Structure 1
Amino acid sequence: MRAVLLVHGGAWAIPDILADGSIDGVKKAAKEGFIKLEKSGSAVDAVEAAVRILEDIPVFDAGHGAVLNADGDVELDAIIMNGKTLAAGAVSCVKNISNPVTLARSVMEKTDHVMLTGTGANKFAEKQGIPQVPTEELVTQHARAEWKMYQKYNESVTNLFNTQMVHDTVGAVAVDYDGNVACATSTGGITNKMVGRVGDTPVIGSGGYADNNIGAVSATGHGESILKVNLSRLVLFHMEQGKSPLEAANTALCYMEDRVTGRGGVIVVNTEGDWAAQFSTNRMAWACVKSRNLFCGLNPGECFKESLI
């Protein structure tokens, strides 16, 4: 069994000014996640470690790069899922948490529930000793300037999303040396979103899904569209019908665009270590480590290869 760690930094119209930082960030996360995979042998450990790296890099809309809602506040969502047991943990609308993916894992492993939201999730974080940080620590100058622009022109979330100006989710999928799969996804949402809005990220089957009988998926893109088609589980459904990860990803993304005019991206891995990183937006930063080789890309049809040896 060949282990694989695959990450994405969000599917959207990534501007040139953020392109290099996005590629550097996903490459770093893929490398660190794969090191964790090799040391611990756990797909769950690997995806959490990779997503934590992405949450700590301000260029991405998660953790320290989160965008602001209509009230100028940060609300974070995250999910993690263990394909061996189908155990899952998710949080939504949490505030002042640097690494919501770790809080989601605590929900998975230390409660009888699957999702905690808002104040309850933050109270649980406090009980678990997960530190809270000031909102200012999570918001970049770019995010604040972007929020002010939205406020100035009074643009709706939908209109701005259609121009593909919004930032988006980060995520990771992995298969370990025992053939176990896992996924994790984290986001700060959409700039100027309504207070309390929850997108696809923390919803099982939409923002992510992992099942040892099939594979694992992490999704990114327009959350409302992803929710409507249950994108991550839809990809795995097509894999159950015999499609490869690449074919399944393309089929599901095409369906979402045709059915609800939604665009996005997915990273996919099956239990044999076959993988795909596909998207229908202008760009998606992604990176994959397999057999001591790193693959990465940003533009459609692009795939660069580097040796880690």
Structure 2
Amino acid sequence: MDAIIMDGKDLTSGAVSAVKCIANPIKLARLVMEKTNHLLLTSQGASLFAKAQGISEVPGEQLITERSRERWRKNLKPGSNPVAYQLGLGTVGAVAIDRQGNVACATSTGGMTNKMVGRVGDTACIGSGGYANNSVGAVSTTGHGESIMKVILARLILHYMENGMSTEEAADAGLNYMKTQVDGSGGVIVVNSAGEWTAKFSTKQMSWAAIKDDQLHCGIHTGENEIVSVAASPQ
């Protein structure tokens, strides 16, 4: 799995890539940020660091769902399209802003189905899988990793915001640029330094949720924005 976390207050960040048997890789990425002078640890080095920090390994079988096994089997068949299958997989991302105006982002993923051994996707790469800067905002991304890395999507969206675009305009512009330049699809969640947020995607769907004040917003398909009171939402 790959993961990244970034603190917009001072641009500190931590990331891990190609780690196995870790239930919560973002926690490990945070330890990289807080306990080392490095930004990214990978594979065996990340695993050794996890053990040194007391993070227990979880048997791999417990982290693989039957749905994932079935996707893997389908991708073994001739004519399969791993990229198409990847777009429906479960990257987990978050952006946040606190009362002092500090922003942060975090993203983790299991990566592309049937990927080559040693492949590292966008998630663990600063500026691609996520980016946060108090002066602008924070972004977390999902989608076709190679496309996201080619355009450095998270940082690109913040660049658009630095030049006057709203969160929604910047998200649309970034996704459109990725589509026109490299024919890539994906999704993003964005918050700016004023607490304004958006969730945008060029894929068929993306599950998202946002909380501001007492309102919970959520959706899956384009145009959906269900709003309920946090106090009234199911616990």
TM class by shorter-chain length?
over 0.9
1:141 maps to a residue whose letter is: E
Given that 1:160 and 1:166 are in contact with CA atoms closer than 8 Å, whether structure 2 keeps it comes out as: no
Match of 1:143 in 2: 68
The answer on 1:108 being equivalent to 2:33 is yes
Distance 2:82 2:69 in 1: 16
Match of 1:243 in 2: 165
| Superimposed CA distance per residue, residues 157-202 of structure 1 (whole angstroms, 9 cap, x where no aligned partner) | xx33246664141100000011000000000001111111111001
2:140 maps to a residue whose letter is: S
1:241 maps to a residue whose letter is: N
What's the RMSD between the two structures over aligned residues? Answer: 1.2
User: Residue 110 of structure 2: which of 163, 188, 196 is its match?
Assistant: 188
Residue correspondences, number:
231
User: Residue 91 of structure 1: which of 2, 12, 16 is its match?
Assistant: 16
Give the 3 Å change call, closer, same or farther, for CA 195–154 of structure 1 in structure 2: farther
Give the 3 Å change call, closer, same or farther, for CA 125–154 of structure 1 in structure 2: farther
Normalised by the length of structure 1, the TM-score is 0.73
Distance 1:258 1:107 in 2: 35
User: Residue 256 of structure 1: which of 178, 181, 191 is its match?
Assistant: 178
The runs of at least 4 aligned residues of structure 1 exceeding 2 Å deviation read: 162-166
Structure 2 stretches lacking a partner, 5+ long: none
Distance 1:79 1:165 in 2: 19
1:1-309 alignment runs, 5 A limit: 76-151=1-76, 153-155=77-79, 159-162=81-84, 166-309=88-231
Distance 1:275 1:208 in 2: 15
Distance 2:138 2:169 in 1: 15
Q: Which has the higher contact order (CA 8 A, sep 6+)?
A: 1
Deviates more, 1:102-111 or 1:135-144: 135-144
2:95 maps to a residue whose letter is: V
Q: CA deviation at 1:81?
A: 0.2
Distance 2:160 2:225 in 1: 24
Distance 1:108 1:90 in 2: 7
Other structure's SS at 2:175 match: helix
